[in-house]
């Protein structure tokens, strides 16, 4: 434990705990005093340009790509503009359809990822307006992009990204609300309701971070396994993809994130007695369907832990071995809370295995080669 780690054993744990502050800092100055409107004075993108956007492409790598998956759902549901998501290393090679009325959003914590930078240049060469969501304002991506929304997570040292990811989510929520206002796709009351829920997130997160014991105990349990599964639907699916990546990066446990409804189309063959399955079940609109997928794996003997809301714990415990409750917010904002137990799970699993949490083998914080 050193002073630079703020009393925490690892940078990763420190950064997990910095998330409430990162949320506040990323929102500060971007919500007007009435609480009914998002303001993004830094944007060069004009209202006329916003009205003319025909399509949005979100491009990133790794964890930032997973933030983009949530960003896509936020934009599509609030703004009703079609959104495509690409991992940056693939983008150029599918000959993407990019026109001057395409808004391209690149997401990068470091702003130095070579694949993302190359995708940015490709998009610009087709005349697209490129907006970067980045944590480093002086970075190459920030310099080359036409617009920048800075996440204010502060420096992220641990290789496994935590607070940068969640701050990217906040940036996407803010951007979606701003675009919705300009395009008139949401009422002022609806926007105010979402903003109020966003402003409650830091405190909800603080409460959750104060009680890590159940997750820690579960992490010790899974640390003895070599394979496990994550399942979820909708936004829960987006979040488990990040949870699975985090676990692989630092615990070296092999895991797969599956769309809960897709499991039965093949992967169910891998479910056997005692295999851990982590089911994220926070999206009420698809809860019943997720429960039926949980029953499919439970019938094959999986050892299931559900992450859900308090009100579903009792009924879920009929089909799962353990359940962990997270605070309730709007479904769209839930990723900003639900990813945190998954971050802690990887952290404690890595710790239990005696790994170098902050510097996992074979990985670099920022990858500047294609």
Phi and psi angles of residue 352, each rounded to the nearest 5 degrees, phi first: -65, -30
The string of DSSP codes covering 133-177 is EES-TTSHHHHHSSEEEE-------SSS-SHHHHHHHHHHHHHHH
Q: Which residue has the tokens 């693939």?
A: 90
Residue 36 falls in the annotated catalytic set: no
Asked if 366 touches ligand G6P (CB under 6 A), the answer is yes
Verify binding: residue 321, ligand G6P, rule CB under 6 A. Answer: no
Both tokens of residue 301? 């003997």
Binding mask 69-108 for ligand G6P (x = CB under 6 A): ---------------------------------------x
Per-residue contact flags (x/-) with ligand G6P for residues 133 to 162, judged by CB under 6 A: --------------------------x-x-
Nearest-10 crossing angle of helices 235-251, 335-352: 20
Closest CB to ligand G6P among residues 109, 329:
109
- In the complex with ligand G6P, the residue whose CB is nearer, 64 or 175, is 64
Nearer to ligand G6P, 161 or 298 (CB): 161
Identify whether the C-beta of residue 278 lies closer than 8 Å to the C-beta of residue 228: yes
Closest CB 44 distance from ligand G6P, rounded Å: 22
Query: Measured from the CB of residue 361, what is the shortest distance to ligand G6P in angstroms?
Result: 12
Nearest in space to 334 (alpha carbons), one of 256, 262, 237: 237
Q: Is 110 in the site for ligand G6P (CB under 6 A)?
A: yes
What is the chain's alpha carbon radius of gyration, rounded to the nearest angstrom? 20
> For residue 162, what are its two tokens?
């935590």
Binding-site string for ligand G6P from residue 21 to residue 60, where x marks contact by CB under 6 A and - marks none? ----------------------------------------
> Would you state the structure tokens that stand for residue 14, as one six-digit string?
């420190």
Residues that bind ligand G6P (CB under 6 A): 61-64, 108-110, 113, 116, 159, 161, 363-367
Residues with active-site annotation? 365
């Amino acid at each position: 434990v050193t002073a630079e780690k703020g009393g925490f054993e690892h940078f990763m744990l420190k950064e997990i705990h910095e998330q409430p502050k990162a949320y506040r800092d990323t929102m500060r100055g971007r919500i007007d005093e009435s609480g009914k409107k998002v303001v993004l004075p830094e944007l060069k993108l004009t209202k006329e340009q916003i009205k003319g956007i025909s399509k949005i492409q979100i491009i990133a790598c790794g964890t930032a790509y997973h933030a983009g998956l949530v960003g896509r759902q936020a934009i599509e549901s609030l703004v009703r503009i079609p959104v495509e998501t690409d991992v940056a290393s693939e983008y150029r090679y599918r000959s993407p359809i990019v026109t001057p009325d395409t808004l391209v959003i690149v997401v990068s914590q470091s702003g130095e990822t070579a694949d993302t930078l190359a995708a940015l240049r490709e998009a610009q060469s087709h005349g697209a307006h490129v907006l970067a969501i980045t944590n480093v304002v002086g970075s190459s991506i920030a310099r080359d992009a036409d617009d920048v929304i800075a996440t204010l997570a502060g420096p992220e040292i641990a290789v496994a990204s935590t607070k940068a990811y969640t701050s990217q989510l906040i940036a996407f929520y803010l951007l979606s609300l701003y675009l919705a206002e300009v395009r008139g796709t949401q009422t002022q009351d609806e926007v105010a309701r979402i903003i109020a829920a966003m402003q409650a997130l830091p405190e909800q997160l603080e409460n959750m971070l104060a009680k890590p014991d159940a997750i820690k105990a579960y992490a010790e349990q899974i640390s003895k396994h070599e394979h496990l599964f994550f399942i979820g639907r909708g936004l829960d699916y987006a979040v488990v993809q990040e949870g699975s990546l985090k676990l692989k990066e630092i615990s070296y446990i092999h895991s797969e994130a599956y769309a809960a409804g897709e499991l039965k189309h093949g992967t169910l063959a891998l479910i056997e007695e005692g295999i851990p399955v982590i089911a994220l079940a926070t999206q009420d609109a698809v809860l019943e369907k997720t429960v039926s997928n949980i029953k499919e794996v439970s019938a094959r003997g999986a050892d299931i832990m559900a992450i859900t809301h308090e009100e579903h714990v009792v009924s879920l415990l009929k089909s799962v071995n353990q359940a962990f409750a997270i605070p309730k917010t709007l479904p769209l904002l839930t990723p900003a809370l639900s990813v945190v137990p998954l971050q802690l799970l990887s952290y404690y699993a890595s710790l239990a295995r005696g790994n170098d949490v902050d510097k996992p083998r074979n990985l670099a914080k920022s990858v500047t080669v294609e």
